[in-house]
């Protein structure tokens, strides 16, 4: 069971070491059409939980191997805020992280729970996803668990943005034919005008999705950016980041990292040292890794993972 993955070149946050709070299976309160993980039934809470001790031990081991980490990213095979010991975990990470920053990537659905709201206030950085505002579009794209309502999420995001003293980022992911309409962008614009975020990243599908949905084009993304109010800190997400330093990965680490997050040739150039690149080539030659093209970009994916995702259409 691999709790730690990476480091990976996060396109927005620098060199990031990931913590997977659900390493054995996907546990999420959404089943997004564009998810880069395999499709899965939604859950309202975790049924398989790892201990805080196991996470901290794995993190300390990873710190010994990688000394160029900018950020510790709390994420999951699913939604990390479903992890029931999150508050305690963040306290323990804070005790050992030195000058690294903490970051959580969440779909925002549990922010209306006051315990989660208070817990996330203790992080250095928070990234909240918000894909749609009209209930119909929200349900189509994010396919939430029963009882999750976008109105409550939008209110919680606004309130959190005012209470949080760290760096807050919002991410909106556009899916062709779903949330890229003028009406939906107007609704998003109106909510975002009441959210105090450092940056609003808008992007589209750039990794193989769980369901057969399509990305919008870069040109359309630019067009959408222009539709938002000019006072909003809209940023078109880009995969590239200069200045990343390469690290050494064993073959097992390569497989584990690619399983959590498919990497492109650019990512590998930035992150892998020469020996790790040779390891990747040898995994390719022996068939443990395969290449998959998506929107003109080649991704490296573990063979088993690629087959698993292709089964669902
Ligand atoms: S994209 Fe995130 S929120 Fe959506 S189903 Fe996948 S893990 Fe859950």
Q: Across the strands, what pairs with 75?
A: 20
Give the model's pLDDT for residue 296: 54
Show Cβ contacts of residue 178 under 8 Å, excluding neighbours closer than 6 positions.
33, 132, 137, 140, 141, 184, 213
Whole-Å CA distances, 4 to 43, 127, 148, 166: 23, 19, 29, 24
Structural domains of the chain sorted by starting position, each given as residue range(s) with its CATH number in brackets: 4-242 (3.20.20.70), 246-313 (1.10.10)
Structure-block tokens of residue 124: 């250095």
Q: What percent of the chain has pLDDT over 90?
A: 70
**Residue range 214-259, pLDDT digits in tens:** 999 878 988 898 899 988 888 887 554 434 567 788 998 888 888 7
Rounded to the nearest angstrom, the distance between the alpha carbon of 275 and the centre of ligand 1 is 33
Is 133:150 a contact under the CB 8 Å cutoff? Answer: yes
Output 291 or 85, whichever has higher pLDDT.
Answer: 85
Task: Report the nearest-CA residue for atom 4 of ligand 1.
Answer: 32
Atom number, ligand 1, closest to the C-alpha of residue 34: 1
Task: Report the nearest-CA residue for atom 1 of ligand 1.
Answer: 35
CA dist., res. 51 & res. 43, Å (int)? 20
Output 8 or 241, whichever has higher pLDDT.
Answer: 8
**Pick from 227, 221, 146: nearest CA to 182:** 227
Give the model's pLDDT for residue 311: 36
Q: Which of 131-140, 202-211, 230-239, 300-309 has the lowest mean pLDDT?
A: 300-309
Whole-Å CA distances, 42 to 28, 85, 147: 5, 20, 12
pTM of the model: 0.81
Average pLDDT, stretch 186-204? 95
**Pick from 285, 286, 291: nearest CA to 305:** 291
Segment (H or E) for 183: helix 182-192
Is 196:168 a contact under the CB 8 Å cutoff? Answer: yes
Mutate to test the pocket of ligand 1, among 21, 74, 107, 138 (most ligand atoms within 8 A of CB): 107
CA dist., res. 205 & res. 309, Å (int)? 15
Q: Residue 9, SS3?
A: strand
Please give all residues whose beta carbon lies within 6 A of any atom in ligand 1, as ranges.
Answer: 28, 30-32, 35, 37, 78-79, 107
- Does the pLDDT value for residue 12 go beyond 70? no
Rounded to the nearest angstrom, the distance between the alpha carbon of 30 and the centre of ligand 1 is 6
Segment (H or E) for 52: helix 52-65
**Residue range 88-139, pLDDT digits in tens:** 999 999 999 999 999 999 999 999 999 999 999 999 999 999 999 999 999 9
Query: Which residue in the block uniquely carries the two structure tokens 């928070």?
Result: 126
Query: Which residue in the block uniquely carries the two structure tokens 């196991």?
Result: 54
Residue 156 CA, distance from chain mean position: 20
Give the model's pLDDT for residue 242: 39
Tally Cβ neighbours within 10 Å of residue 285: 9
Give the model's pLDDT for residue 123: 98
């Amino acid at each position: 069971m691999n709790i730690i993955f990476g480091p990976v070149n996060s396109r927005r946050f620098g060199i990031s070491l990931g913590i997977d709070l659900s390493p054995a299976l996907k546990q999420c309160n959404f089943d997004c059409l564009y998810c880069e993980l395999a499709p899965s039934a939604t859950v309202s809470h975790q049924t398989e939980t790892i201990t805080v001790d196991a996470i901290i031990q794995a993190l300390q081991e990873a710190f010994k191997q990688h000394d160029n980490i900018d950020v510790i990213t709390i994420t999951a095979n699913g939604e990390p805020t479903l992890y029931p010991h999150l508050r305690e975990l963040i306290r323990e990470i804070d005790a050992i992280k030195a000058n690294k920053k903490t970051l959580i990537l969440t779909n925002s659905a549990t922010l209306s729970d006051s315990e989660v709201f208070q817990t996330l206030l203790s992080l250095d950085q928070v990234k909240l996803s918000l894909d749609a505002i009209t209930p119909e579009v929200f349900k189509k794209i994010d396919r939430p668990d029963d009882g999750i309502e976008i109105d409550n999420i939008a209110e919680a995001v606004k309130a959190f943005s005012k209470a949080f003293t760290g760096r807050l980022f919002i991410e909106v992911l556009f899916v062709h034919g779903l949330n890229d309409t003028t009406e939906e962008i107007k609704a998003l614009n109106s909510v975002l005008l009441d959210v105090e975020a450092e940056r609003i990243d808008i992007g589209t599908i750039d990794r193989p999705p769980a369901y057969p949905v399509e990305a919008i084009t870069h040109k359309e993304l630019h067009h959408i950016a222009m539709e938002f109010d000019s006072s909003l800190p809209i940023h078109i997400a880009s995969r590239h980041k200069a200045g990343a330093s390469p690290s050494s990965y064993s073959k097992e680490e390569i497989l584990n990292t690619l399983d959590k997050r498919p990497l492109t040739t650019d990512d590998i150039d930035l992150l892998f040292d020469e020996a790790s690149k040779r390891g990747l080539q040898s995994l390719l030659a022996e068939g443990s890794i395969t290449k998959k093209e998506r929107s003109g970009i080649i991704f490296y994916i573990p063979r088993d993972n690629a087959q698993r995702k292709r089964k669902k259409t």
